Amino acid sequence: MTGKRTRYSAEFKAKVALEALRGELTTAQLAAKHGIHQTMVGEWKRQAMEGLTAVFSGKAAAPESAKVAEAEVEKLHAKIGQLLVERDFLAKA
């Protein structure tokens, strides 16, 4: 059991989940077709369903807000650094 865990791409997961959502094949048939375990098919299908609700609830803009939040964090880190330097300078005086 020294084998490495296989990492599947997002495109592959989406493809399998979409096939599962269509319901043309059973979970067992999909798993055999793609060479994966049945629980993976079910898990990816569940994640796809949760992702669909996020698309219609407005959470799809999350990557844009993440960039804004990251910029805000960078600005705050700069301010913290400035305040630390000022505190150290005043503590020596």
pLDDT in tens, 41-72: 999 999 999 888 777 776 556 667 778 889 99
Cβ atoms of residues 63 and 69 within 8 Å:
no
Q: Do 18 and 32 lie in a common domain?
A: yes
pTM above 0.85, yes or no: no
Structure tokens at 32: 């055999």
The CATH number for 47's domain is 1.10.10
Q: What's the pLDDT score for residue 60?
A: 54
Q: What is the C-alpha to C-alpha distance for residues 22 and 26, in angstroms, rounded to an integer? A: 10
**4 — pLDDT class (breaks 50, 70, 90):** confident
The residue segments making up the domain with residue 26 are 1-61
Q: Are 50 and 68 contained in the same domain?
A: no
56 and 68 within one domain: no
* Greatest alpha-carbon span in the chain: 76
Residues 55 and 68 occupy one common structural domain: no
Q: How many domains does the chain have?
A: 2
Q: Kindly state whether residues 72 and 50 are assigned to the same domain.
A: no
15, 65, 70, 78 from 73: Cα distances, Å:
36, 12, 5, 9
